[in-house]
Amino acid sequence: MIGVDLGGTKLLAGVVDADLQVHARAHRAAPALSLQEVLDTVVSAIDEVRAAAPSEVVGVGLGIPCLIDRRRGVAMMSVHLPIAGVPFGDLVAERVGLPVAIDNDANAAMLAEWRFGAARGVRDAVLLTVGTGIGSGMVVEGNLARGSIGAGPELGHMVIDADGPECGGACPNRGCLEALVSGPALAREGRELARAHADSALGRALAAGREITGALVTELAHDGDAAAEEAVRRIGRWLGVGIANVVNIFNPEVVVVGGGVIGAGELLLGPAREVVAARALPPMRDAVQIVPSQFGAESGMLGAALLSAAETP
């Protein structure tokens, strides 16, 4: 089967077999200009990997960064792509002549991590992907759970600081986890610490006119720059407040953290674990593991392929 992870800025497609081996990959920038352009990009990536497949492809799974109304198969409220209100899976299916299963990209990632990865074999797990925003998936009592219209879970839009910063985009809320923990939030902390510590590597980067991005802060933190490390720690502590909530709410065995920001690794997860130890209820806190995703940037694509397998006869 073919899995496609359509992100806000890039796309990854792959031919994947039942053991989750990947036989071909295609990368694309995902232009956000028009529906037609997004559709062409998805179809061309599918065509490319399909041509390289070792055997006949029977279905496509598509993970998209959207709330989805599964009652109608329609994408809703996409922050990054012009596909809101569109039955995007049907349009792709028509073009490629294959059945297309569609789901939220983080639900797809949760599926891959649950069936084959960091949450393999458990009955209760939660996944958070921390990137431009926060995606989330949940396995509750052995079911990948999506809520009544299939639009959940949106743990990134759980308020943890009621008077905190506005969340922005399509979210009317403030102090959401996503407003405090994301690549842009890391960049914001990085800029603040760069200004406060002009003699740090981060400060020198700012003075030299470099753009302070989450990726740059992460890179400098890995290089041992104290200011950059502190920026990552701040984000990690907020992440810990969010994970403590997840632990108290779901009593999961595993919380999986993925997405671009997990590139910071233990610099991020260490402070998060400390906050969970300090704030979560003891019986739940002692029953949970907080781990990085096993499949990293490929979990969405792999999960999308599994989605296709589950829905293809």
Q: By the criterion CB under 8 A, which residues form the site for a second copy?
A: 67, 69, 76-77, 122-124, 140-141, 143, 145-155, 157-164, 170-174, 238, 241, 244-245, 248-253, 278-284, 287-288
Task: Pick the closer one to a second copy by CB: 52 or 170.
Answer: 170
DSSP conformation class of 159? B
CB 23, min distance to a second copy, A:
33
Shortest CB 95 distance to a second copy, Å = 26
Instruction: Give 2 or 241: the residue with its C-beta nearer to a second copy.
Output: 241
Per the rule left: phi > 0, alpha: psi between -120 and 50, beta: everything else, 192 is alpha
Cα(242)–Cα(48) distance, integer angstroms: 40
Q: Compute the C-alpha angle 157/161/164, nearest 5°.
A: 90
We find the least distance from the C-beta atom of residue 116 to a second copy, in angstroms, to be: 20
* Phi, psi dihedral angles at 136 (to 5 degrees): -150, 150
- Comparing CB distances to a second copy, the nearer of 105 and 154 is 154
Q: How far is CA 71 from CA 9, 134, 151, in A?
A: 27, 24, 10
> Residue 231 or residue 297: which is nearer to a second copy going by CB?
231
Q: How far is the CB of 254 from a second copy (least distance, A)?
A: 9
Instruction: Give least dist CB 284 to a second copy, A.
Output: 6
Rounded to whole angstroms, the Cα distance separating 283 from 273 reads 15
In this structure, are residues 38 and 83 in contact, taking their beta carbons and an 8 Å threshold? Answer: yes
Cβ nearer to a second copy, comparing 223 with 286: 286
C-alpha distances out from residue 58 to 3, 50, 67, 310, Å:
11, 10, 26, 12
